[in-house]
């Protein structure tokens, strides 16, 4: 015979009013088990006897407490080991405003462990005893899975009322939720069960009036959390006479816990307190389950006086849960979010909206605007969990559609996909005819471009063959001093200039345009050895080329010639850029280059009505963007950082006249770094990386093997980019595989 089976049959039997029907039910339920039948019948006799202590009033005369037995009741202390009736007290597990709670062992008619609540010694005033009597009688009426069940009631030998109830081994609500890091959904499901328990009590005519986390214990049954509402010590009957004796409640005595108390409880007027007071307390519980804090924080409750506390409860509107979360400190909101297994931003977005509306409706100061019942509150929370429109939110077509769409997301997505597919197919059919025509035109244009590129490549290779034929014929190896003899030995068909270094320059230029830097540097070095002057236009970028290929001997030789150039020659782009690439260039020289560059910019940007500047523009082949670039570079070397930033940005933006736009990004990065603007420096450096990859991609993607910008601009960009990476990040950039691939492709095309 199991105690669980015995209890189940007993509780079912007491619901049957007819004694004959009850006897018939017992015979069927107990079957061939006479011991089970006898035990249940004993329980029923005890339950239905007329002198049952649950049905017997505790108070004989509230006005004369001297009639209670035991004159020393006020000084008597209940301790573990004390026997009260058939119950032996064990450890004390709780203490309320006027009651003590013990674990106790029941010895007859069967053994079980229970919770026994007893009036505090010295607290047995008529008012307190009346409330205690209301509690035990209220609990005796209720039989719900989420409400602690009452078993027995009586009076101690010292005149203290007590009742015996189900021992709930559980953890208080908020502590359990945080300890197990329950998600918002799990917390809401627990809250729905609590609402259902309160609704059951309301149907029995009982108002709890002190709902708070410590009065809701959570136990685990088969791994599932089950809430148990306890402590109806301040309950009030609606249509019964359980608490008639509480009408003498002392004025200015609030029943309940302030942080969870409804405005009408704090009013303490003739206004009747009804079930909607518990709705308010449930709203506070939900608020705390969501945010980790009550609307009226405990610190404030402790600091204000009694009258101010009543005013706050009656008049001040609580902040929305999402607003409370947004105002918490980072440390607190991180803890609250972690206890709900969410990121802070995700928790805020979850609470904002429907949950805000539900909580604020339950916490309305006007009880007529709250949920009418605990069941209505539970239903709205359930609607939220089911992604349905909630009653708390003011209805709107858009809102209801959004909730409908969220609930039926799969069906709506499927329908939308089908509809879009039909429309898309129709659009494709109309578009394809147009695309076919455009594709044909593009193919024709691409073929033309490919043919042009092929032709240009053929010209490149043909020129290289001619140069190689000349250079390998033995003619180019003649020393310059024997030029007259060598020249007479060749036919005039070679069309060579009086000096033969142009052949080396020509081939070096071809190699440079293909990006074959080592080959180009070798040819230019040979041209210098044969006496080529450095002020030729073909020498633009040669100094940079020697520096980039680590040809120190040639670089130092060329740079020595550049350094002794007269100031007037600084207007030459080749000389100016050759000097600026050297990190040791003096500030004074850089400033002179900057001044001349600014003068050339002014001439280039003069109005067309000014004939002289126009003629100067016509005489000069240098684009405006290149002038801006040289000016910005010179200002950077001279330490004029603001002017450098302005000119370098203008150079990058000049897409109309300068094909080398974008090469100024590394210089711009280093200028910002010199100015202490690290973020802007890193942004410009990132632009440099992107620009490099774009150029490399373009040179690999098209049919042409030449680099997409003038080769001397490319060389300067590479050098300054490496310097910028080293200065800003402290290391050289990684090897660019795209560049290696592009070089291999160029070599393959030449061979």
> Which residue positions form the known binding site?
117
Q: How far apart are CA 667 and CA 502, in angstroms?
A: 33
- What residues does 150 pair with on adjacent strands? 165
Q: How far apart are CA 399 and CA 402, in angstroms?
A: 5
Q: How buried is residue 379: exposed, middle or buried, by Cβ count under 10 Å (0-12/13-18/19+)?
A: middle
Q: How far apart are CA 318 and CA 361, in angstroms?
A: 11
Written in H, E and C, the secondary structure of 239-299 is CCCCCHHHHHCCCCCCCCCHHHCCHHHHHCCCCCCCCHHHHHHHHHHHHHHHHCCCCCCHH
Query: DSSP assignment of 137-152, as one string?
Result: HHHHH---TTBPPEEE
Q: How far apart are CA 150 and CA 166, in angstroms?
A: 6
Tokens 């006496």 correspond to what residue?
531
194, 233 Cβ separation under 8 angstroms:
no
Active-site residue, 523 included: no
Select from 93, 94, 82, 99 the least CA-distant residue to 133. Answer: 99
Q: What are 108's two structure tokens?
A: 């007859």
Question: Residues 399, 400, 402, 406: what is their CA dihedral angle, to the nearest 10 degrees?
Answer: 140
- C-alpha distances out from residue 493 to 178, 472, 710, Å: 96, 17, 31
574, 537 Cβ separation under 8 angstroms:
yes
- C-alpha distances out from residue 109 to 39, 86, 680, Å: 8, 9, 85
- What residues does 105 pair with on adjacent strands? 88, 113
Those residues whose C-beta lies under 8 Å from the C-beta of residue 161, and which sit 6 or more positions away, are 58, 118, 119, 124, 129, 132, 133, 136, 153, 154, 155
Give the residue numbers of the binding site for ATP: 117
Identify the active-site residue in 152, 178, 210, 654. Answer: 210
Q: How far apart are CA 219 and CA 180, in angstroms?
A: 12
- C-alpha distances out from residue 301 to 260, 310, 313, 414, Å: 11, 10, 10, 54
Asked whether the bond before 109 is cis by omega within 30 degrees of 0, the reply is yes
Q: How far apart are CA 65 and CA 58, in angstroms?
A: 12
Written in H, E and C, the secondary structure of 184-219 is HHHHHHHHHHHHHHHHHHHHCCEECCCCCHHHEEEE
Torsion sign across C-alpha atoms 230, 231, 234, 235: positive
Q: How far apart are CA 278 and CA 294, in angstroms?
A: 15
Q: Taking the CB of residue 153, how many other CB atoms lie within 10 A of it?
A: 24
Note the Cα 455 to chain centre separation in Å. Answer: 56
Catalytic residues: 210
């Amino acid at each position: 015979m199991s105690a669980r089976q015995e209890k189940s049959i007993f509780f079912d039997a007491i619901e049957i009013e007819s004694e004959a029907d009850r006897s018939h039910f017992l015979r069927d339920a107990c079957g061939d088990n006479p011991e089970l039948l006898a035990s249940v019948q004993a329980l029923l006799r005890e339950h239905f006897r007329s002198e049952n202590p649950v049905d017997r009033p505790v108070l004989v005369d509230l006005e004369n407490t001297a009639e209670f037995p035991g004159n020393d009741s006020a000084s008597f202390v209940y301790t573990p080991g004390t026997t009260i009736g058939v119950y032996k007290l064990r450890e004390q597990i709780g203490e309320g405003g006027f009651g003590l709670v013990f674990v106790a062992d029941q010895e007859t008619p069967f053994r079980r462990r229970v919770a026994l609540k007893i009036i505090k010694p010295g607290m047995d005033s008529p008012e307190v005893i009346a409330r205690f009597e209301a509690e035990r009688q209220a609990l005796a009426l209720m039989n719900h899975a989420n409400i602690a069940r009452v078993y027995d009631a009586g009076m101690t030998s010292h005149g203290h009322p007590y009742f015996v109830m189900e021992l709930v081994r559980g953890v208080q609500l908020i502590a359990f939720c945080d300890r197990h890091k329950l998600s918002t959904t799990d917390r809401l499901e627990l809250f729905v069960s609590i609402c259902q328990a309160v609704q059951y009590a309301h149907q029995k005519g009982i108002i709890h009036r002190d709902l708070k986390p410590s009065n809701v214990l959570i136990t685990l049954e088969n791994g599932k959390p089950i809430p148990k509402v306890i402590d109806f010590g301040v309950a009030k009957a609606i249509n019964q006479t359980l608490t008639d004796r509480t009408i003498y409640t002392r004025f200015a005595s609030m029943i309940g816990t302030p942080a969870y108390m409804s405005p009408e409880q704090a009013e303490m007027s003739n206004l009747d307190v009804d079930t909607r007071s518990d709705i308010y307390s449930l709203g506070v519980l939900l608020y705390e389950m969501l945010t980790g804090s009550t609307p009226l924080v405990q610190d404030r409750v402790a600091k204000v006086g009694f009258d101010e506390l009543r005013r706050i409860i009656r008049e001040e509107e609580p902040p929305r849960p999402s607003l409370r979360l947004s105002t918490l400190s980072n440390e607190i909101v991180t803890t609250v979010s972690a206890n709900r297994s969410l990121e802070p931003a995700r928790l805020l977005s979850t609470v904002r909206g429907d949950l805000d509306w539900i909580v604020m409706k339950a916490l309305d100061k006007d009880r007529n605007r709250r949920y009418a019942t605990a069941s209505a509150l539970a239903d709205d929370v359930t609607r939220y969990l089911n992604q349905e429109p909630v009653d708390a939110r003011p209805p709107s077509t858009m809102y209801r559609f959004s909730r409908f769409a969220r609930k039926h997301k799969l069906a709506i997505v499927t329908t939308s996909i089908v509809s879009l597919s039909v429309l898309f197919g129709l659009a494709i059919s109309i578009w394809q005819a147009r695309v076919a025509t455009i594709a044909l035109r593009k193919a024709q244009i691409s073929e033309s471009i490919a043919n042009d590129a092929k032709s240009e490549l053929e010209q490149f290779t043909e020129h290289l063959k001619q140069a190689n034929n000349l250079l390998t014929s033995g003619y180019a190896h003649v020393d310059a001093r024997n030029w007259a003899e060598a020249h007479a030995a060749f036919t005039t068909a070679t069309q060579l200039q009086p000096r033969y270094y142009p052949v080396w320059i020509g081939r070096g230029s071809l190699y440079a345009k293909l990006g074959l830097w080592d080959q180009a540097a070798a040819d230019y070095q040979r041209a210098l050895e044969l006496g080529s002057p450095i002020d030729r236009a073909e020498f633009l970028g040669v100094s940079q080329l020697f520096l980039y290929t680590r040809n120190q001997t040639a670089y130092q030789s060329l740079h020595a010639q550049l350094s002794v150039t007269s100031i007037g020659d600084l207007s030459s782009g080749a000389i100016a850029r050759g000097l600026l690439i050297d990190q040791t260039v003096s500030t004074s020289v850089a400033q002179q280059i900057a001044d001349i560059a600014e003068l050339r910019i002014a001439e280039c940007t003069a109005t067309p009505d000014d004939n002289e500047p126009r003629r100067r523009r016509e005489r000069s082949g240098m684009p405006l963007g290149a002038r801006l670039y040289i000016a910005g570079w010179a200002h950077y070397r001279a330490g004029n950082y603001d002017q450098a930033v302005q000119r370098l940005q203008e150079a990058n933006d000049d897409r109309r006249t300068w094909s080398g736009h974008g090469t100024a990004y590394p210089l711009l990065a280093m200028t910002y770094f010199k100015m202490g603007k690290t973020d802007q420096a890193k942004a410009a450096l990132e632009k440099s990386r992107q620009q490099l990859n774009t150029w490399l991609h373009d040179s690999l993607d098209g049919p042409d093997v030449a680099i997409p910008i003038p080769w001397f601009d490319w060389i300067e960009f590479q050098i300054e980019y490496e310097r910028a990476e080293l200065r800003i990040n402290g290391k050289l950039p990684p090897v660019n595989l795209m560049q290696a691939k592009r070089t291999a492709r160029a070599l393959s095309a030449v061979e």
